[in-house]
């Protein structure tokens, strides 16, 4: 039923209103609710369900307009204070509308008006022979004309024109001849198709591109070539490098820091505050602290749920669980007991706390300065020895070549010791790198002497003995640095770990670098712990060596999951000396805490 009815002008001035029984006499609240919830949102059609409302509104509008037309058109606006007495007339119009609506009776449609009544009895009967008749008619229409068939068949005798039957059917003799001619044509076309079909052949052998065969073995054999300068992997020196690679020379002597997004602190706080004011939740770490904004001092109980979410966020970034716990404790110590009034204050506090914790974790126990140490070794008259170790497939040889190129860019002569005598192709890979580096840095750039040389003894030999011979050869030929490449091995392979411990114990390298990839996440922590443990257990020295630094490879493939860098540094206490960000020689970077902070807060 209707509760309230009102008439108002286009400007919103109420001219007349009618309240039904049980409704408040004041019309201000109903009018405001009408304008807000009905006119501005959904419209009256979606709210009222009475069937006669549309007609009632139309009748009242027309009657009220005609009754008070002169008063409403008065320019003096005296009608604003005029009391329109329209209650009786409204009751009459409403009663008429209700009566008229109640008299409406929906009658059902008669059979004569339905579609079924238009169908005849013949159309409703089922003819079982209808399909056979349709097929016969279709066959007759598709069959060739008898005159043309008789002319095409030379051997067939002349056919007399058939007398049409009363039911317009062909003569049975003509039909038989047509069928015979059709069968002959079908047989002729089938025989022709058999002759054109290709013969089936067996499966042909696959020919690999650049695969080679026994005939090419003699031309590809270069084992008898004793000219060391001719070992160019089948290419000339000029073909080994491109124009882009030549541009690397004399531009890569300094290793840049990891690229970081440069945000001003004010811009970050403004962006975070705008995100906090919206109802959408952001994926950043700051969204966890929105519920802490208020006038009360923060307590440990209020911070605990937020810190648990923050710890899960850091673990999702490949940060080890104990390190994530330590970082959360640092943030809790900074926020506990503080009066936080705005969201930007929390954001800046959390960022500063995380930055301090990461700087403390990533700060190494000792500083590794390779260039300074190489100069000291030069003054002592001995080469500086660096040994690379790690598991299989992490990029030891590739990053060894990058570091070799960086050392050559700084004016040092480098000898590469091929001590990976286990993996097939390891020596050839280093030989290819040596040839390319020799082309980029010819002897003219190193006082007429080779800037890089490869010391190799083939496969299946003792790696520790090859490393010792390479170091002695480098001392005699006055090379500045010796880079020892070792075979990749899993941390649980005891024989290979014993071999690595022997190589390090016998030759006492100046720097032992563990090469690990950033893709494995917390698996790198297990690798580091077991490598260190194996070097200590399988060494016969009183003070066994351990890993001195870390080379983190494939860092360009992990996006913002940088937790492996933090976990590896925290586990060993040793610095990340180099970060590999690609496959080219200049793709070496240094790790900085700010880049890691930006990735963690992303």
Q: pLDDT per residue over 302-322, tens digit each?
A: 778 888 888 888 888 888 888
The arithmetic mean of pLDDT across residues 393-403, rounded, is 92
For 93-129, give one letter per residue: b (16+ CB within 10 A) or e: bbeebeeeeeeeeeeeeeeeeeeeeeeeeeeeeeeee
Strand-strand pairing, 384-389 and 511-517: parallel
From CA 208, how far away is CA 20, in angstroms rounded? 94
Q: What is the pLDDT of residue 75?
A: 60
Strand-strand pairing, 452-455 and 256-257: unpaired
Residue 385 has pLDDT above 60, yes or no: yes
Tokens 């198709």 sit at which residue? 193
Tokens 């020295």 sit at which residue? 541
Residue 73 has pLDDT above 70, yes or no: yes
Q: What is the pLDDT of residue 179?
A: 82
Tokens 């330590």 sit at which residue? 326
The arithmetic mean of pLDDT across residues 182-198, rounded, is 70
Q: Count the helix, strand and coil residues of the chain and give each as a percent rounded to the nearest 5.
A: 50, 10, 40
Q: Which of 249-253, 312-316, 537-541 has the lowest mean pLDDT?
A: 249-253
- Which pLDDT band, with edges at 50, 70 and 90, does 29 fall under? low
The arithmetic mean of pLDDT across residues 427-450, rounded, is 90
Q: What is the pLDDT of residue 47?
A: 45
Residue 343 has pLDDT above 70, yes or no: no
* Domains annotated on the chain, with CATH: 4-104 (3.30.450.60), 370-591 (3.40.50.300)
Phi, psi of 396 (to 5 degrees): -65, -50
What share of the chain in percent tops pLDDT 70? 66
Contact by Cβ (8 Å): 332, 307: yes
Tokens of 591: 């790790």
Tokens of 70: 């002169």
Residue 420 has pLDDT above 70, yes or no: yes
Q: Shortest CA distance to 589 belongs to which of 361, 252, 318, 319?
A: 252
**What are the residue ranges of helices labelled H in 363-485?**
370-380, 396-409, 426-440, 463-476
- Which pLDDT band, with edges at 50, 70 and 90, does 185 fall under? confident
The arithmetic mean of pLDDT across residues 348-364, rounded, is 74
Phi, psi of 311 (to 5 degrees): -65, -40
Contact by Cβ (8 Å): 250, 409: yes
Q: What is the pLDDT of residue 277?
A: 47
Residues 6+ apart with CB under 8 A from 492: 530
What share of the chain in percent tops pLDDT 90? 18
Q: What is the pLDDT of residue 287?
A: 60
The arithmetic mean of pLDDT across residues 575-595, rounded, is 86
pTM for this predicted structure: 0.57
């Amino acid at each position: 039923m209707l509760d309230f009815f009102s008439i108002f002008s286009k400007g919103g001035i109420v001219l007349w209103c009618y309240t039904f029984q049980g409704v408040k006499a004041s019309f201000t609240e109903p009018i405001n609710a009408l304008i807000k919830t009905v006119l501005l949102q959904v419209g009256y059609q979606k709210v009222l369900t009475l069937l006669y409302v549309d007609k009632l509104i139309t009748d009242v509008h027309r009657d009220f307009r005609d009754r008070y037309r002169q008063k409403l058109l008065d320019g003096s606006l005296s009608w604003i204070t005029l009391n329109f007495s329209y209650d009786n007339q409204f009751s009459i119009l409403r009663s008429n509308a209700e009566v008229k609506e109640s008299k409406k009776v929906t009658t059902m449609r008669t059979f004569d008006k339905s579609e079924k009544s238009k169908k005849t009895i013949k159309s409703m009967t089922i003819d079982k022979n209808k399909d056979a008749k349709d097929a016969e008619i279709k066959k007759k229409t598709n069959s060739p004309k008898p005159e043309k068939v008789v002319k095409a068949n030379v051997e067939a005798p002349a056919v007399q024109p058939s007398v049409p039957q009363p039911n317009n059917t062909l003569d049975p003799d003509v039909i038989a001849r047509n069928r015979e001619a059709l069968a002959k044509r079908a047989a002729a076309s089938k025989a022709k198709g058999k002759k054109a079909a290709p013969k089936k052949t067996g499966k042909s052998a696959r020919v690999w591109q650049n695969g080679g065969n026994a005939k090419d073995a003699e031309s590809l054999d270069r084992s008898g070539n004793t000219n060391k300068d001719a070992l160019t992997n089948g290419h000339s020196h000029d073909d080994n490098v491109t124009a882009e690679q030549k541009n690397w020379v004399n531009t890569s002597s300094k290793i840049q820091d990891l690229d970081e997004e440069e945000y001003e602190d004010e811009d970050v706080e403004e962006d975070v505050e705008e995100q906090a004011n919206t109802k959408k939740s952001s994926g950043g770490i700051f969204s966890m602290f929105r519920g802490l904004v208020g006038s009360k001092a923060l307590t440990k109980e209020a911070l605990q749920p937020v810190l648990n979410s923050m710890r899960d966020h850091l673990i999702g970034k490949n940060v080890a669980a104990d390190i994530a716990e330590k970082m959360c404790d640092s943030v809790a110590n900074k926020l506990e007991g503080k009066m936080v009034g705005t969201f930007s204050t929390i954001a800046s506090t959390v960022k500063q706390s995380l930055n301090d914790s990461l700087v403390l974790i990533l700060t190494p126990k000792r500083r590794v300065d390779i260039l300074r140490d190489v100069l000291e070794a030069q003054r002592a008259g001995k080469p500086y020895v660096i040994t690379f170790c790690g598991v299989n497939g992490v990029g030891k040889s590739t990053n060894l070549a990058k570091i070799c190129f960086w050392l050559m860019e700084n004016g040092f002569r480098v000898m590469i010791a091929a001590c990976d005598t286990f993996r097939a192709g390891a020596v050839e890979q280093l030989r290819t790198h040596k040839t390319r580096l020799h082309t980029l840095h010819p002897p003219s750039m190193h006082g007429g002497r080779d800037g890089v040389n490869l010391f190799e003894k083939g496969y299946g030999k003792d790696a520790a003995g090859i490393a010792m011979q390479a170091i002695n050869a480098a001392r005699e030929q006055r090379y500045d640095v010796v880079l020892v490449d070792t075979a990749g091995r899993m941390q649980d392979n005891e024989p290979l770990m014993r071999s690595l411990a022997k190589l390090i114990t016998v030759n006492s390298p100046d720097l032992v670098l563990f090469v690990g990839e950033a893709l494995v996440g917390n698996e790198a922590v297990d690798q580091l712990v077991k490598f260190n443990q194996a070097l200590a257990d399988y060494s016969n020295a009183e003070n066994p060596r351990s890993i001195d630094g870390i080379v983190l490879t494939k860092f360009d493939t992990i996006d913002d999951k940088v937790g492996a860098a933090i976990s590896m540094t925290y586990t060993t206490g040793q610095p990340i000396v180099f970060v590999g960000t690609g496959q080219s020689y200049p793709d070496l970077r240094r790790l900085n805490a700010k880049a890691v902070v930006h990735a963690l807060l992303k």
